[in-house]
Amino acid sequence: MLLADKTVIITGASRGIGRAAARECARQGARVVIGHSGSEQGTHAALSLIEEIRAFGGQAIEVGGDAADPDTGDTLVAAAVEAFGSVDVFVNNAGICPFHSFLDMPREVYLKTVNTNLNGAYFAVQAAANQMKNQGRGGAIIAVSSISALVGGGMQTHYTPTKAGLHSLMQSCAIALGPYGIRCNSVLPGTIATDINKEDLADEEKLAYMTSRTPLGRLGEPDDVAGPIVFLASDMARYVTGASLLVDGGLFVNLQ
């Protein structure tokens, strides 16, 4: 059990990568706080995940809250401490990527994307880090950034800067929080088939193109990202901080 006796908060854990990570953390012995949007659908999905986790003897609670709200991190931390007494790992995963062209990008789409993916994350990381510092026994913070932190996307001009921002936030926080034993790392998934890109990949040509560009010959699945998150959360990664781990089937290095 890689995460025995640890309390893990994961945002956006009702579905996709966050859900897979929450399930795997619980399998590895963690007590899990399932962060979700607070919508009826999100609450329903989170409750079904709690049932799944309890069925194999794990422990989990759910907490609703808008990831864009700077107060949501405090809410998640308070709920974790009330239910489980500590916060040992914080995984910032919630995110949106409404594909849109640059020249006519509506301000509200840009601002919603930046607020959800980066601004809320900043304050959530701060809330988790303060709790870990006060506990006095270190911790691990992981941002679900993206391959898009390193490369562009013509329909993602509002999105890629948020992923580069998270990547950079983890690098700077690794320095700021190292003295407290708090490790900060990011995972950089490639293209993982989830709801975030369902519409985009419904285009068969695009789907075939993305698959053909991936040396491992398939798109990723949420479970492909869960293992790397658990590794970075665990004491197996005790000397890893400020790092970023591509989880992309080789997509990034595939120039020719």
Ligand X SMILES: C[C@H](O)[C@@H]1OC(=O)[C@H](O)[C@@H]1O
- List the catalytic residues: 146, 159, 163
Residue carrying the six token digits 């197996």: 236
- Cβ-defined contacts of 204-207 (< 8 Å, 24+): none
Q: Cα(177)–Cα(183) distance, rounded to whole angstroms?
A: 7
147 binds ligand X per the rule CB under 6 A? yes
> Does 116 interact with ligand X (rule: CB under 6 A)?
no
9 near ligand NAI (CB under 6 A) = no
Select 67 or 232, whichever has its Cβ closest to ligand NAI. 67
Told to check if 25 binds ligand X by CB under 6 A, we report no
> Which C-beta is closer to ligand NAI: that of 28 or that of 116?
116
DSSP H helices in 136-178: 160-177
**Based on CB atoms, which residue is closest to ligand X, 17 or 174?**
17
The size of the interface with ligand X (CB under 6 A), counted in residues, is 10
Candidate list 92, 148, 162, 244; residue touching ligand X; CB under 6 A: 148
- In contact, 11 and 67? CB cutoff 8 Å: yes
Nearer to ligand NAI, 60 or 144 (CB): 144
Minimum CB distance to ligand X smaller for 12 or for 64: 12
- Positions in 197-216 near ligand NAI (CB under 6 A): 197
Would the CA dihedral through 11, 16, 19, 23 be positive or negative? negative
* Other C-beta atoms lying within 10 Å of the C-beta of residue 191: 23
196 touches ligand NAI by CB under 6 A: yes
Binding ligand X (rule: CB under 6 A), the pick from 196, 232, 233, 245 is 196
The nearest distance, CB 82 to ligand X, in angstroms, is 33
User: Which is nearest to 196 in space by CA: 67, 18, 51, 50?
Assistant: 18
CB of 120 to ligand X, least distance (A): 17
User: Site map for ligand X, 200-229, x if CB under 6 A?
Assistant: x-----------------------------
Report the partner that residue 14 touches, choosing among ligand NAI, ligand X, none (CB closer than 5 to 8 A by kind): ligand NAI
User: What are 90's strand-pairing partners?
Assistant: 9, 141
Applying CB under 6 A, does 116 fall inside the site for ligand NAI? Answer: yes
Residue 17 partner contact from ligand X, ligand NAI, none using kind-dependent CB cut-offs of 5 to 8 Å: ligand NAI
Judged by the rule CB under 6 A, the positions of this chain that interact with ligand NAI are 12, 14-18, 36-37, 42, 66-68, 93-97, 116, 144, 146, 189, 191-192, 194-197
